[in-house]
A and B are shown apart, each in its own frame.
Chain A
Amino acid sequence: MQLNLFLLLAVALFCIGIYGLITSRNAVRVLMSIELMLNAVNINLLAFSNYLDGQSIRGQVFAVFIITVAAAEAAVGLAIILSIYRNRDTVDMEKFNVLKW
């Protein structure tokens, strides 16, 4: 059955995204990992939409919304990274302790 394969692929992509989100030190790479996780969710939605809801494809509607939110998130996140880079002159995640303590 092919649904399992798509779901396993989405799970693998999501876990790779989590690993990159936790371990990467460059702030831009953190954003890339978030994009990977959002795409894993999209694969999940489209797989269920194709195999379980093939007539009225509601999963694709949600996938389009997720793509919209991801684009907005990427724009705002990169603007935040640029602003932090101008203020602190680094993109190292270990040195971003503005909101810590």
Chain B
Amino acid sequence: MNLAEGVQTISFALLALMMIGAALGVVLLDNIVYSAFLLGGVFISISGLYLLLNADFVSAAQILIYVGAVNVLILFAIMLVNKREDFSPVPRRWIRKGGAALVSVGLFALLGTMVVQTPWVIPANLPATTSTLIILGEHFFSDYLLPFELASVLLLMALVGAVVLARREYVLDDEASVGEMPQLPLQLPERPKEPVALSGTSAPSR
């Protein structure tokens, strides 16, 4: 990255501020739609940080996959689960929140001191490579060939698994479907599912 030092510092500060602020918004806001859109902001800021780290291909992949696929998938899930439910209050919830905050801050302090105190040995000032795409392609097809192929199998498994898990089971009645007009044209008859009993209402034991 041949930018001046000051430009890099200022853009790093801006991107870091955007990222931390949006991430706090994702975690702390009440409305989950705002959280989903702020998650897109986090991903875009992270892709800017990748550009500062000389990773142009990963930056483009970050925007394409995270913002274009994962974030849209999460928005779809939010709108499919469009239930405005007020969560029933759980007693002594602030203890859990306080404990979680304590654990997070403690972990941050621990890892932060580790990062600051470790003397990282930066090797001699070799210029970072500019042809990242070529080197990445050589890695993918020579010494990382097996994980690359395994990743394709994993994606296929995730695809099939997501379809199987999220599918509704429809009742297909083939004898009465020829001459009759179905009363609800945009709905398929769905097989009645036996709902699992909610824990608080009708639990048989305990």
Contacts and interface: CB of A to CB of B under 8 A. Distances in A.
Interface residues of B, number: 88
Interface string A46-66: 110111101111101101110
Interface of A: 1-9, 11-20, 22-26, 28-29, 31-33, 35-36, 39, 42-43, 46-47, 49-52, 54-58, 60-61, 63-65, 67-76, 78-83, 85-92, 94-95, 97-98, 101
Nearest to B12: A5
Interface of B: 8, 12, 16, 19-20, 23-24, 26-27, 32, 35-36, 39, 42-43, 46, 49-50, 53-55, 57-58, 61-62, 65-66, 69-70, 73-74, 76-78, 80-81, 83, 85, 87-88, 90, 96-97, 100-101, 103-105, 107-108, 111-112, 115-116, 120-123, 126-129, 132, 135-136, 139-140, 144, 147, 151, 154-155, 157-159, 161-163, 165-166, 168, 193, 195-196, 198-200, 206
A101 B205 CA distance: 11
A50 B58 contact: no
A14 B159 CA distance: 27
B158 A72 contact: yes
A18 B193 CA distance: 35
Contacts of B122: 1, 3, 51-52
Nearest to A61: B139
The majority secondary structure among interface residues of chain B is helix
A17 B42 CA distance: 12
A92 B93 CA distance: 14
A71 to B, nearest CB: 6
Nearest to B161: A76
B196 A98 contact: yes
Contacts of A98: 196
